[in-house]
Structure 1
Amino acid sequence: MSAAKAICDHVRDIWFGTPEGEFVSMGIISDGNSYGVPDDLLYSFPVTIKNKAWKIVEGLPINDFSREKMDLTAKELTEEKETAFEFLSSA
């Protein structure tokens, strides 16, 4: 049920936008982000949405614990992406 609720919440946020002063976490392509996440990953970022267009929220503070977890997640996603490309290239 939680996956269905998350999909509904994402569609609602994309369709209606986020309330002024609020943001949501959404998986988007990481290219050009200010949080130090490597490019070319589908990664969760804080975003605001207006007129069905998202924008990454810049400048949120990242403590050491969060930075460590973000870096670990990026490493895991990079490894998974590389594995997927290996599977595709051998098919």
Structure 2
Amino acid sequence: MPLDFLKDFYHNVRNTLIWFVVYFFLQAIIWIVLAVLILLYPQALYVLATVFFFILAVVSIYFACVVIKYVVKIKKLKDSLTGNLLD
């Protein structure tokens, strides 16, 4: 097929973006855990730091969702150009 390079490009981009998603979700989990620890032990830091960590977690989840959206768009583009809907 003449568009095999597009399929390879799609798979490489997809794999890279999957690692970005994993990174963002793990980062969000770390920030949430830190925020909970600060809430449990308020003498360590102020509640404002807890709000900051929760905001960072929400932003990380948002960026992960944006990356997922682009993965789906790239897959649709690849499928429309190659006609391969099952790969």
Bigger Rg, structure 1 or 2: 2
Higher strand content, 1 or 2: 1
Q: Work out which structure has the larger RCO, using CA pairs closer than 8 Å and 6 or more positions apart in sequence.
A: 2
- Which bracket does the TM-score occupy, shorter chain normalised? 0.3 to 0.5
Q: TM-score, normalised by structure 2?
A: 0.38
